[in-house]
Amino acid sequence: MLKLQNYFLSWGMILIGVFMNVLGAYVVKLKINELGGIQFESIKTVITYFWNLASFPLAFMGGILIMAAPFPLAIALSRMELSTAYPASVGLNFIILLPLTTIFLGESLVWTKIIAIILIIISLVLLHK
């Protein structure tokens, strides 16, 4: 039972943090796609852009998820080495985000990204050992 608890408090927390980060980034990107690219004409334009972004409830919640995602990672770091936990977190973010953005946002899926995912999976297996 203790081993399962330690596993949840390490790898499980990494996964929770990754899902929070991916979901947050995804919903923020949805609203950014709607608003279009940010224009740096003036400070007022930039503030207005981010105000419009934050006034969309789903994007606001996405921002909260992005800001809260490091907390589960911190729990994992209390039980894992940084050199294992952080690369695992970054790699899992890419692995989970790529299919999501390809399917729902129409982003490109090229061979280099597929090869990158394969290499990340191999790296995660090696990190887990």
Band (pLDDT 50/70/90 cuts) for residue 48 is very high
Domain residues for 111?
2-128
pLDDT the model gives residue 24: 97
Which residues are CB-neighbours of 52 under 8 A, at least 6 positions away? 35
pTM over 0.85: yes
Band (pLDDT 50/70/90 cuts) for residue 4 is confident
Question: Can you read off the two tokens belonging to residue 66?
Answer: 């992005």
Q: Is the pLDDT of residue 106 over 80?
A: yes
Residue 3 has pLDDT above 90, yes or no: no
Nearest in space to 92 (alpha carbons), one of 111, 110, 116: 116
CA distance 77 to 47: 35
What is the pLDDT at residue 110? 95
Look over the chain and give the mean of its residue pLDDT values, rounded to a whole number: 94
Amino acid at 117: I
User: What is the average per-residue pLDDT within 10-23?
Assistant: 97
The percent of residues in the chain predicted with pLDDT above 90, rounded, is 91
Q: Please say whether the beta carbons of 76 and 11 come within 8 A.
A: yes
8 A C-beta contact, residue 120 and residue 98: no
> What's the whole-number mean pLDDT along residues 6-22?
95
Dihedral through CA 77, CA 83, CA 86, CA 91, nearest 10? -140
Res. 129: pLDDT tops 90: no
State the pLDDT at residue 6.
Answer: 87
- The distance between the two most distant Cα atoms of the chain, rounded to a whole number of Å, is 58
Q: Six-digit token pair at 85?
A: 């936990």
Overall number of domains in the chain: 1
